Amino acid sequence: MNAYEFYNAITISWFCVAALVFISLFFITAPYGRHTRGGWGPKINATTGWLIMEIPAVVTITFFYLMGDRLLNPVAIAFLLIWQTHYINRALIFPFRRRSPGAEMPLMIAFSGLFFNVVNGYLQGYWLFYLSPAKEISWFYDPRFIIGLILFFGGLLINHQSDNILFRLRKPGEKGYKIPHGGFYRWISSPNYFGELIEWSGWAILTWSMGGLAFAVWTAANLAPRAIKHHKWYRQTFEDYPSERKALIPYIW
Ligand SMILES: NC(=O)c1ccc[n+]([C@@H]2O[C@H](COP(=O)([O-])OP(=O)(O)OC[C@H]3O[C@@H](n4cnc5c(N)ncnc54)[C@H](OP(=O)(O)O)[C@@H]3O)[C@@H](O)[C@H]2O)c1
């Protein structure tokens, strides 16, 4: 099996695992955040857990960029910068902005996230910086790049705005949950997940790659069931929860 065939086999397997994860998450809620519970083995501090999960996404893609054959290719550089715009925040800033004093997560969740980000980093980086034909500078004018880029940064803005609204719900040192308002919370319970979905759909389009598509599918498989669980949790927890609010997609679902 050559490198190309190996890559394709991993990509196909990754789509299959995403389908299994999607089905499983309707029956088992990932035990972190408000859904944390016992019975999932040893726990670690949640901030450390987020660092363990997300730093590999920054490192893996940088590794493949440096090992690749297109260090000075402007499109390759743009892909790297776009990716890192998301992951520098997620891996190095977000964990310290969360206001969840004393929160823990199962070690197993942290290592599942680490594993995911290493495989995903390989799927993106090995393809974009090594296996695929190098893209010419004309890719910057291609409608796929432009539409994908608009979606990516539109999604990123929604994701950041929504996470920021959540952070502000708690004063430093405070615990517990409140009803979020403003931004896309007018319409849905998990706009941070909605933004994330738009971002990675944009990434799939702007890179026009199977690896990018696999990541977008994984994001949906992971976050759609969790958005439903969050939505049900809000409705059960707060009697005055806005009844018109949907779970994940404004006006629809
Ligand atoms: N691409 C992917 O597959 C993927 C997967 C997972 C997460 N993510 C992203 O990672 C980020 C965090 O995910 P998450 O699952 O932790 O999101 P989340 O459940 O919405 O929580 C985000 C943060 O806000 C706090 N929070 C949530 N609801 C609150 C409320 N009603 N009142 C007060 N504080 C509240 C949480 O505290 P607690 O921790 O105490 O609950 C946590 O610190 C999101 O931007 C998400 O899109 C991406």
Q: What integer is the mean pLDDT of 38-67? A: 97
On average, the pLDDT of the chain sits at 97
Contact 91, 55 (CB under 8 A): yes
Rounded distance between C-alpha atoms, residue 135 and residue 132, angstroms: 8
Q: pLDDT digits over 192-218, tens only?
A: 999 999 999 999 999 999 999 999 999
* Nearest CA-CA partner of 54 in 129, 127, 105: 105
* Predicted local confidence at residue 253, as pLDDT: 93
Containing H/E element for 106? strand 104-106
Q: pLDDT digits over 137-158, tens only?
A: 999 999 999 999 999 999 999 9
3 state SS of 44: strand
Give the residue whose CA is nearest to atom 10 of ligand 1.
90
**Does ligand 1 come within 6 angstroms of the Cβ of 60?**
no
* Predicted local confidence at residue 186, as pLDDT: 98
- Which residues sit opposite 105 in a β-bridge? 44
What is the residue extent of each domain of the chain? Answer: 3-237
Rounded distance between C-alpha atoms, residue 16 and residue 154, angstroms: 29
Q: What integer is the mean pLDDT of 123-149? A: 98
Regarding predicted confidence, which is higher, 172 or 87? 87
Beta-carbon count within 10 A of 134 CB: 14
Give the residue whose CA is nearest to atom 47 of ligand 1.
193
Mutate to test the pocket of ligand 1, among 17, 34, 248 (most ligand atoms within 8 A of CB): 34
3 state SS of 130: helix
**Does ligand 1 come within 6 angstroms of the Cβ of 178?**
yes
Rounded distance between C-alpha atoms, residue 228 and residue 55, angstroms: 27
Contact 196, 223 (CB under 8 A): yes
DSSP assignment of 166-207: HHHTS-TT--S-----SGGGGTBS-HHHHHHHHHHHHHHHHH
Give the residue whose CA is nearest to atom 26 of ligand 1.
166
Q: What integer is the mean pLDDT of 77-83? A: 98
